[in-house]
Amino acid sequence: MPDQYLPDRWFNSHDDNTVSISPIIRCEKAVAHIEGFRYEGTPLDFNAYAGEIINLIGPDYSGKSAWIRMISGKEFPYSGDVSIFGKNLFSYNRADWIHLRTNAAYIETDTALLSAANAMQNVLIPALYHAKEKATDAIERAKRLISEIAPDTNPSVLPALLRKDQRYKIAVARALILQPQAIILDSPFDLLDVATATKFKSFLLDYSKENNVLIIVVSHDIQFALQHSDKILFVSKNHIEQFDSADDLRASNNANINEFLKTNLTT
């Protein structure tokens, strides 16, 4: 049944009185703007639902970041349609954009923090700005998020004095304080050492499970992608090769995918 807290447009009523949940993100024949070359391969048809974990993998310089920017609604598609939260990006009004950015967190590896505010203030700013909860509750949640995601970070320190990986983790905490329904991360493990990356991966998996949050990740960790993804989007320079489960990807006859998996799983 439709949830009273979710907008009606998320739900499709059918003639037989059954109701199905709409995808959070839907791409229909969408093509991303890719810097440096013109993509002439097959357009992307893609549905992403709450609670799913989707990984984008593929060779370097294949335009994965461009695809994830389009999927996250950060950029309009070059052609085709992208709908997020049930509405086409091209028909978004100002309120829709604010709703999108507060409910679908998009975090790049080099996301900058506010340099004049310390780590705790950075995490708190979006919560206080959007006033989704009381300031005291927001402070408690900010403390909890920092201790879970960035336990090695002093919350009273300015970003300039933090390491790159600490800044990244604070950026993730800052996005999560808004309790988004989708978290879209571009290369989240690249800055982290092995131990920290493992902890961060477990956090993301648990967070998605506990909160029924959609997580989409551009990952260079193929092992993680194959083990934990509900679906994997394999992107190469000229084609969206496949959008399937990890098992289907492993069993694929596609020479590019086989070559990529062989190379990356043996190194």
Interacting residue with another protein among 4, 17, 93, 115 (CB under 8 A): 115
**If you search the block for the tokens 């402070």, which residue do you land on?**
139
Cα–Cα distance measured from residue 107 to residue 9, given in angstroms and rounded to the nearest whole number? 26
Task: Establish if 174 lies at the interface with another protein (CB under 8 A).
Answer: yes
Handedness of CA 92, 98, 103, 109 (dihedral sign): positive
The minimum distance between CB 226 and another protein, in angstroms, equals: 29
CB 22 within 8 A of CB 47: no
CB 65 within 8 A of CB 112: no
Interacting residue with another protein among 82, 107, 145, 173 (CB under 8 A): 107
Q: Which amino acid is residue 60, in one-letter code?
A: D
Cα–Cα distance measured from residue 72 to residue 75, given in angstroms and rounded to the nearest whole number? 8
Task: Establish if 171 lies at the interface with another protein (CB under 8 A).
Answer: yes
Beta carbons within 10 angstroms of residue 68's beta carbon: 25
Interacting residue with another protein among 47, 111, 238, 264 (CB under 8 A): 111
| Residue closer to another protein, measured from CB, 170 or 261 | 170
Task: Establish if 164 lies at the interface with another protein (CB under 8 A).
Answer: no
Interacting residue with another protein among 89, 175, 213, 232 (CB under 8 A): 175
Among the residue ranges 17-25, 28-36, 94-102, 247-255, the one whose residues contact another protein (CB under 8 A): 94-102
Task: Classify residue 264 by burial, with Cβ atoms within 10 Å: 0-12, 13-18, 19+.
Answer: middle
> In which element (H, E) is residue 106 found?
strand 104-107
Task: Establish if 157 lies at the interface with another protein (CB under 8 A).
Answer: no
The minimum distance between CB 119 and another protein, in angstroms, equals: 14
Task: Establish if 100 lies at the interface with another protein (CB under 8 A).
Answer: yes
* Length, in residues, of the chain: 267
CB 242 within 8 A of CB 229: no
Task: Establish if 178 lies at the interface with another protein (CB under 8 A).
Answer: yes
Interacting residue with another protein among 67, 85, 106, 243 (CB under 8 A): 106
- Show Cβ contacts of residue 91 under 8 Å, excluding neighbours closer than 6 positions: none
The half-sphere exposure of 29 on its side-chain side, counting CA atoms within 13 A, is: 2
Residues 121-140, one symbol each (x = binds another protein by CB under 8 A, - = not), give: ----xx--xx----------
The minimum distance between CB 104 and another protein, in angstroms, equals: 10
The minimum distance between CB 150 and another protein, in angstroms, equals: 16
Using CB under 8 A, which residues numbered 47 to 76 contact another protein?
A: 74
- Which residues in this chain contact another protein in the complex, by CB under 8 A? 74, 97-102, 105-107, 110-115, 125-126, 129-130, 171, 174-175, 178
